[in-house]
Amino acid sequence: MHIDVNQLAEFLAANPFRVEGIFRYAKNPGVPHAEYTDSFPGFVFPLRGKTQFQFNGTPYIFSPGKVVHGGAKMKLAHTVFGKSNWEYILVLYQMNNFEHAGFSQQHFELLTGQSPRLVEILMRLWHAYNQRGGLSSFQAELLFRELLNEALLCVANRQNSNKSLPIFERISSYIHKYYDQSITVASLTEQNNINRNRLSYVFRRHAGVGPAEYVLNYRIKIAQKMLVTSNVPVQLIAQAVGITDPFYFSRVFKKRVGISPTQYRGKFINNPYSFQQASIHI
């Protein structure tokens, strides 16, 4: 089952816990799987391949892009998919307060998506745990918490991404329609009842740039088309795409395209279709 990441985060923050063991499993590890989970709860971090385990009859696919949690002493069943190779790392932990076991006695999965940083922290945890000494043990405890934090952030970001797509589509459509008018970050936040940080996140998540740069890039893209499909002076084209200062227009055009508006027109005016290869992608 899926879990509320905010409630899980609150639970982990309020209840002390410690690492009890870290184990790395792969296809044909040399021993048959157990009929029950360990006496401690644990998080499973798939590294490659795909295999299935059932916790108390509920199936979970172990594959990269998700984290699976199982409670202590749960009925366990294993299903192998063909001859595919699979590998995962299991981190067992113990809650210091058994009276408030909460999420630790449940089975659930976290849809993190592919995260190189999550894998990097996981491998650091694996290596730290397998080193001897108090310092390594201390590092393992810290890394486990960092690993869980990264997993929860990945889930939250994926959920926010799904919610933010309609916002991006609505605002970007407005920009495409009214690019020739005065558009500022402040006006976009006010019109859409959204704060600046949220607006910036939405555009960086779906367009790779902030809202102000998105507006400017779109204006330059429209200007590129106008330069090779008309004889309108550069100054008037700048005004037509919402940039009142022609010197600023020429400067940002050259910075993004690599050549001045006049040079761009001279290069593509006789071949108006080839300019698409050199235009800014929005």
The pLDDT of residue 17 is above 90: yes
**pLDDT band at residue 114 under the 50/70/90 scheme:** confident
Residue 60 has pLDDT above 70, yes or no: yes
Q: Cα torsion for 109, 110, 116, 121, to the nearest 10°? A: -80
Write out pLDDT tens, residues 149-186.
999 988 887 777 667 778 999 999 999 999 999 999 99
* Res 113: pLDDT: 87
Domains and CATH numbers, the chain: 5-157 (2.60.120.280), 212-278 (1.10.10.60)
Burial of 258 (C-beta count, 10 Å sphere; 0-12/13-18/19+): exposed
Write down how long the chain is.
282
Report the SS3 class of residue 218: helix
Q: What gap in Å lies between CA 211 and CA 217, rounded to an integer?
A: 10
Please provide the average confidence, as pLDDT, over all residues in the chain. 89
Per-residue pLDDT tens for 251-272? 999 999 999 999 999 888 766 5
Closest CA to 210 of 257, 150, 258, 168: 168
pLDDT at residue 282 greater than cutoff 70: no
Quote the pLDDT of residue 32: 56
Instruction: Name the burial class of residue 87, with classes exposed (0-12), middle (13-18) and buried (19+) by CB atoms within 10 angstroms of its CB.
Output: middle
92: helix, strand or coil: strand
Q: Which residues contact 81 (CB under 8 A, 6 or more apart)?
A: 50, 51, 52
Task: Name the percent of the chain lying above pLDDT 90.
Answer: 65
pLDDT at 28: 62
